[in-house]
Amino acid sequence: MRTKLQRDYRKVANIQNDLLQKFTTQLVNDYDQIVIEDLRVKQMMMAHVASKGLQRSLFSKFRRILTYKCDWYGKKLIWAEQTYPSPQRCAQCGYIKTGDEKITLQGNRKHGTKHNEYICYECGYQNDRDKNAVLNLLALAE
Ligand SMILES: [Zn+2]
């Protein structure tokens, strides 16, 4: 039983490694600049998706492989600071929500906004929460 489990574990690890290699190669082939946000910021959101340990070790492996491949191929790799407020920042005016203005997994109670909508209280800009966050990450590449 133990040997079988070890064999299965190795098989899973090999598949993961293979996927990581293919995925990172595709990224450096397709893009000259890559912006990555550290998943640890999103730990709370991801907790229900995968076990934290697994997620973290996979992510650090992904990070390591992507870093050396970007190096090899002369591609620019930008890491968003763990504290970079991509979900809270307005992609249009740069306003950053704080305190009870913040968008949470339940939306914003004070303003009655939904969890998937970003509404800027400064300039009135509206977008899907994830799309707004991605635009904020892309702003780092400019
Ligand atoms: Zn704004």
- For ligand 1, the distance from its centroid to the CA atom of residue 3, given in whole angstroms, is 57
Per-residue pLDDT at 24:
95
- For ligand 1, the distance from its centroid to the CA atom of residue 61, given in whole angstroms, is 36
- For ligand 1, the distance from its centroid to the CA atom of residue 116, given in whole angstroms, is 16
- For ligand 1, the distance from its centroid to the CA atom of residue 82, given in whole angstroms, is 22
Per-residue pLDDT at 28:
96
Pairing outcome for strands 76-80 and 33-37: parallel
Per-residue pLDDT at 123:
97
Cβ neighbours around 75 below 10 Å, total: 17
What confidence tens digit (pLDDT) does each residue in 68-117 have?
A: 999 999 999 998 887 888 999 999 999 999 999 999 888 899 999 898 99
Task: For residue 35, list its beta bridge partners.
Answer: 78
- For ligand 1, the distance from its centroid to the CA atom of residue 129, given in whole angstroms, is 13
- For ligand 1, the distance from its centroid to the CA atom of residue 62, given in whole angstroms, is 33
| HEC sequence for the chain | CHHHHHHHHHHHHHHHHHHHHHHHHHHHHHCCEEEEECHHHHHHHHCCCCCHHHHHHHHHHHHHHHHHHHHHHCCEEEEECCCCCCCCECCCCCCECCHHHCCECCEECCCCECCCEEECCCCCCEEEHHHHHHHHHHHCCC
Rounded Cα distance, 75 and 31, in Å? 8
Which candidate, 131, 94, 104, 125, places its Cα nearest to that of 112? 104
- Per the CB < 8 A criterion, the answer to whether 119 and 125 are in contact is yes
Per-residue pLDDT at 44:
47
